[in-house]
Structure 1
């Protein structure tokens, strides 16, 4: 299979001016609308697809998922997959079409068929973390621009491969760190970076507790549903028997596919910590796990249920990340005050620090939609997006090295401080910790 395709050779598309207002993309002329495919149409994928369609950001020509369609994603009544996504797109097309005829959207189970299509300019990748590198690199080599959900990578090593693929193929990549497109997060992080609270001394980030409960020791395998291509879902991950709590939304609670809430919610709040420090592509000098709790050995879910870790940076700032009721929260503390923002609101040590704070956005202008719109803007203008590949990599690395120490905690306990060399992306003189950075992966197509 030839996985390298030339980008759509329309100079009108390549040279299109940057358009800030997503509604400007509602022009149906072929020269103005970007052709997009969605790879992964589960819980997050369907949400992103709805936002893309509502904001009229482009033409969705294809959707792809290894699940034809089923209930039971984040909630039991959520019916997602390739077929529901196809129906959603075609219903939207029929509503927008003057004739009422639905323009066809093709549904696929194999993403490689999507990448072979010369009429698709960009792909939105919303799949479990263990597939991010493979699909992203193949898409880039096929000449597609890529929106890849956070965390950008499954391992530290994945990031360098993805950076090289973006730059070698001269493609656009937007990491799905949508807080970068949230006006409130922009206000707080830029204020911290500009010294509005004095010299930064400490940043405290919060990640939510695990929001699902899986089966404990002694769980039994289940028959694979007919609608699910489980072999492909596993892909590069270890061969394991099927259980309904292994897949769909719950993949994030197993280290074979993700990194728990550290790489889920933590990919947002810790990215904001780097942003507020002005270290978009930097990293800490040391990391220490202060506490970690796990389910009994043999449970299907094996990521930490509660965590607390500390990082130090060369600029003297200390980062403390801990589990809590708040799903995402970032607090910047400086010599002259503090600023704090999260899903429950934004506060400050002095009300004057909040002067000019944007109102919370709703509808098609929410951060997810704005982040997708920024991606499409950059596909047209060929300019860098708000969360380019290097930024997504750096944020993911912070989460991965924290997880390395968290996973070692049951055998090493507190007080183990590991030195980190951001340049080499290795722990200094710590073979045990460095072994935790390696994620063995199978050939997904063997």
Structure 2
């Protein structure tokens, strides 16, 4: 599995384009994989005949693991997982250990006294142990558990075959294949009588056309539920007068495109303004790691973008505070075009430190956005709408037609208090209202 982007450590196989025995040319696409929200096609780095495919669709593979064996001379030979002849080259030169079949576990073979905690609540940056057992959960195990909605308590009941009692990926997949026999087993420990228990209500879901969620929609759903569960959301609202910005943009968009060959939308202007406000309030550009707050050095602005499928994705403008308007327009337009054509790479959606969501493009007056984890705040920008407003002039108060917009900032109240959240969103609005109408392009 080749490196697919910065900070990406694993990928899930979506489909293989070739079968065992097929001939493949160098740079011909071998398989398609998924990393977070982006699908990527992986080419072969040699020409030859496919000797062996070591993983199937939906398997989650670490970067650097061998996923297929190709005989470079173009002829087929006997398969072997334990020993590879010198004439066989792998897609990646990492040894793949032989996997052994597992026996179906017995439901009475193990119980657990671990707390009933969802697997998605556990940080994926460390290894974790279960109380009164010798089982360790790796980030890969946590990722698989999250995908299949397996709780921490249920994971603790799965018989482990790894070194020193560690749970292996194959153990989890075998357990799922066996029908998850421990899914409804009761823990030995007594439940806390003061704890809140989710009521088991039988709702009438009605009848109608059934549409199965696609892979991206499932990931979005998991991410949104995780965010609401993790961060206590608070939303602050302000209103901003964008008349100067709107008039300047309308007067200069044609000249800007003729000069730089780039469309001038409102998005690069929004990104520029938000990056400027973040420099005034750097603690809004942060993430939470346990009891620590990590204030990020770079200002990377994520842009929530709708795909043709209706799903959302967040491409990232890296180091937005260091770029001028021309560079921001180029970056924004490039990412928007990639998203529209479903050609975003793993690096294009990684590293965001603060996210904006332009809900105004859908006609929404305002919104209450959900924080893009692990960030601590997200800003929603409503529709720019002309309204009669009372303004102060040298001759006194007057009623004028102004271009107004509502801003909604959702923030993580664990680390962002009302003063910081309110001050930041007010500063963004102030910069919008103070836009220089005489600015050069």
Q: Shorter chain as normaliser: what TM range?
A: under 0.3
Higher relative contact order (CA 8 A, sep 6+): 1
In terms of fraction of residues, the more strand-rich structure is: 2
Q: Which has the larger radius of gyration?
A: 2
In terms of fraction of residues, the more helix-rich structure is: 1
TM-score, structure 2 normalization = 0.24
